[in-house]
């Protein structure tokens, strides 16, 4: 269609024409015009345009402020028009609210899965697994796999009782970029695509409820506590699988430049999930950590995942910040609390050691460690010096959230 013809149709209220005109301007990098026509398309009832505006408000790719309120309004409009991804994005946004009720979030997730959005089908499988119904979880992963989600093949392999089927699923996932699957591939096996079952219904609210595991107090002041069984084995593998393609040699803070630098004090590899990477079930796991830490999720830095190979370590260090810019009024402020989860068992070594407090914690898959970096008055506490001891055998993976004094995230 000629541009002028498209423009006339868009001006007359044709939402599809306005959306195509917005895309034409975007390809020419004429962003004000692109946004104007995108808004026209959304106002005319174009679901994809409303979802695109929601994504722009939530993620601010041009570097502007993220606006969760505007994003939610746009996603609501798109979801009302049947847009599956918009329902998924609403569920992700709502999981950042401290008082988010589980049932509406799960209904939104189910709507997105029914609409064919593969990440929603995968997340629905994780929800059913968390609720204890592994048959329903397998069904969701099979439906997600049918929609092209390779990570669901990896998750199906973790739930398979048939070693040959698991090897085939892992080989399929590995060939499609799920690097963690390589840890389980033990030889060639044919890929047997599972039958596509009927998508299960909405999981019970218990799928999102905080884990009620008792605290084991390791030290009173400063407080150090552990909680076992917070993440399931499947959830641990899920986090590792998402992080694996992105880990790089870990950095430390350069006191001269203020930027990151390599240093022999820290020999692990790591990555952090940016706001653009907000996967729904990762959000659930972060919400779980935030509830144990009794901190708002919006106060958390991005979730960091770390990997320690044999011989790697993080020598004694403290988590609190010294950069004046981070501590200035209006900035998120000090790291007041640290929460991390071990994602693997370690055959030997890899303990978290607090040398000044005579506390040493063994890495156990699913165990969460929680400690404060400041004292009761808010002053930094030097006694929180801690180290990740060298791994002697095996590999250690862990996921960490650092909580600030004030909001760090927009949502």
Give the tens place of pLDDT for each residue, 131-145. Answer: 999 999 999 999 999
The pLDDT value recorded for residue 250 is: 85
| 184 and 222 share one domain | no
Average pLDDT, the chain: 93
Domain shared by 263 and 372, yes or no? yes
* pLDDT surpassing 80 at residue 212: no
- The tokens of 244 are what? 């694996």
> Closest Cα to residue 400, out of 314, 276, 311?
314
Host domain of residue 293:
210-404
Residues 144, 157: one domain? Answer: yes
pLDDT greater at residue 187 or residue 58: 58
For residues 101 and 155, state if they share a domain.
Answer: no
Residues 282 and 239 in one domain: yes
Question: DSSP letter string over 202-218?
Answer: PPPGGGTSPP----EEE
- One DSSP character per residue, 107-146 reads HHHHHHHHTT-HHHHHHHHHHHHHTT-HHHHHHHHHHHHH
Residue given tokens 């998120």 in the structure block: 332
User: Which region holds residue 143: left if phi is over 0, alpha if psi is between -120 and 50, else beta?
Assistant: alpha
Q: Which of 62-71, 120-129, 300-309 has the lowest mean pLDDT?
A: 62-71
Q: Which residues contact 244 (CB under 8 A, 6 or more apart)?
A: 178, 179, 180
| Token couple for 67 | 């606006």
Output the CA–CA distances (angstroms, integers) from residue 162 to 156, 196, 399, in the order listed: 11, 18, 30
Same domain, 41 and 101: yes
Q: Which residue has the higher pLDDT, 368 or 187?
A: 368
Q: What is the mean pLDDT of residues 211-236?
A: 95
Q: What's the CA gap between 394 and 346, in Å, rounded?
A: 5
- Per-residue pLDDT at 255: 65
Q: What are phi and psi of 139, to 5 degrees?
A: -60, -45
Q: Are residues 201 and 215 in the same domain?
A: no
**Upper half-sphere CA count for residue 307 (Cβ side, 13 Å):** 21
Domain co-membership, 243 together with 370? yes
Same domain, 201 and 260: no
Domain count, the chain: 3
| Phi (first) and psi of residue 370, to 5 degrees | -130, 130
Residue 233 to residues 228, 253, 345, Cα–Cα distance (Å):
12, 32, 10
Of 4, 5, 41, the closest CA to residue 23 belongs to 41
For residues 58 and 5, give the distance between their C-alpha atoms in angstroms, rounded to a whole number: 32
β-pair type (391-393, 304-308): unpaired
Max avg pLDDT among 185-199, 204-218, 236-250, 259-273? 236-250
d(CA 287, CA 230): 12
372 within a domain of the structure (yes/no): yes
Q: Which of 149, 182, 206 marks a domain boundary?
A: 206
Q: Characterize the bridge pairing of strands 314-317 and 260-261.
A: unpaired
Q: Is residue 115 part of a domain?
A: no
Classify the C-alpha dihedral 284-290-295-297 as positive or negative: negative
Asked if pLDDT for residue 1 goes beyond 60, the answer is: no
| One domain for residues 163 and 16 | no
238-279 pLDDT per residue, tens: 999 999 999 998 877 666 666 776 777 888 999 999 877 779
Task: Quote the strand ranges of 244-383, DSSP E.
Answer: 248-249, 252-253, 260-261, 269-272, 304-308, 314-317, 335-342, 348-349, 352-354, 359-361, 368-372
User: 114 lies in a domain?
Assistant: no
pLDDT value for 261: 67
Tell me the percentage of the chain whose pLDDT exceeds 90. Answer: 82
Cβ-contact 88, 119 below 8 angstroms: yes
Residues 75 and 195 in one domain: no
Asked if 145 and 168 count as a contact pair (C-beta separation under 8 A), the reply is no
Residue 254, pLDDT score: 67
Identify whether 116 is part of a domain: no
Cα distances from 142 to residues 163, 206, 281, 367, 395, in angstroms, run: 17, 23, 17, 29, 30
Mean pLDDT (whole number) for 209-226? 91
Q: What is the pLDDT of residue 10?
A: 93
Nearest-CA neighbor of 261 among 251, 250, 270, 246?
Answer: 251
Last residue of a domain, one of 150, 182, 206: 206
Q: Are 261 and 377 in the same domain? A: yes
Q: For 323-350, how does the pLDDT look when each residue is reduced to its tens digit (9 = 90+)?
A: 888 899 999 999 999 999 999 999 999 9
CATH number at residue 78: 1.25.40.10
Q: Is the peptide bond before 185 cis (omega within 30 degrees of 0)?
A: no
């Amino acid at each position: 269609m000629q541009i002028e013809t498209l423009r006339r149709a868009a001006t007359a209220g044709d939402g599809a024409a306005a959306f195509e005109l917005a895309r034409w301007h975007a390809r020419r990098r004429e962003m004000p015009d692109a946004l104007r026509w995108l808004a026209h398309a959304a106002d005319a009832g174009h679901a994809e345009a409303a979802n695109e505006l929601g994504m722009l408000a939530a993620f601010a790719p041009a570097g502007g402020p993220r606006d969760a309120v505007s994003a939610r309004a746009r996603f609501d409009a798109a979801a009302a028009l049947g847009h599956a991804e918009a329902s998924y994005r609403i569920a992700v946004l709502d999981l950042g609210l401290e008082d988010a009720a589980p049932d509406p979030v799960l209904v939104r997730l189910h709507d997105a899965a029914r609409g064919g959005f593969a990440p929603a089908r995968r997340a629905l499988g994780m929800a059913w697994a968390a609720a204890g119904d592994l048959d329903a979880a397998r069904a969701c992963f099979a439906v997600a796999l049918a929609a092209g989600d390779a990570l669901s093949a990896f998750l199906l392999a973790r739930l398979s009782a048939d070693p040959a089927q698991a090897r085939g699923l892992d080989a399929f996932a590995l060939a499609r970029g799920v690097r963690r699957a390589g840890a389980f591939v033990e030889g060639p096996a044919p890929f047997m695509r599972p039958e596509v079952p009927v998508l299960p219904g909405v999981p019970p609210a218990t799928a999102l409820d905080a884990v009620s595991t008792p605290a084991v107090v390791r030290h009173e002041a400063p407080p150090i506590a552990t909680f076992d069984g917070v993440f399931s084995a499947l959830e641990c593998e899920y986090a590792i699988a998402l992080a694996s393609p992105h880990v790089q040699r870990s950095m430390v803070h350069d006191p001269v430049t203020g930027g990151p630098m390599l240093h022999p004090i820290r020999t692990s590899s790591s990555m952090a999930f940016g706001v653009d990477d907000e996967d729904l079930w990762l959000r659930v796991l972060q919400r779980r950590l935030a509830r144990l830490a009794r901190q708002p999720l919006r106060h958390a830095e991005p979730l960091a995942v770390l990997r320690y190979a044999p011989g790697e370590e993080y020598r004694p260090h403290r988590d609190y910040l010294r950069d004046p810019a981070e501590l200035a009024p209006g900035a998120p402020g000090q790291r007041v609390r640290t929460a991390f989860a071990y994602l693997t068992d370690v055959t030997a070594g890899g303990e978290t050691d607090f040398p000044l407090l005579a506390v040493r914690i063994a890495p156990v898959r699913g165990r969460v460690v929680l400690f404060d970096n400041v004292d009761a008055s808010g002053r930094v506490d030097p006694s929180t010096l801690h180290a990740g001891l060298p791994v002697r055998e095996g590999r250690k993976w862990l996921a960490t959230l650092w909580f600030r004094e004030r909001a760090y995230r927009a949502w």
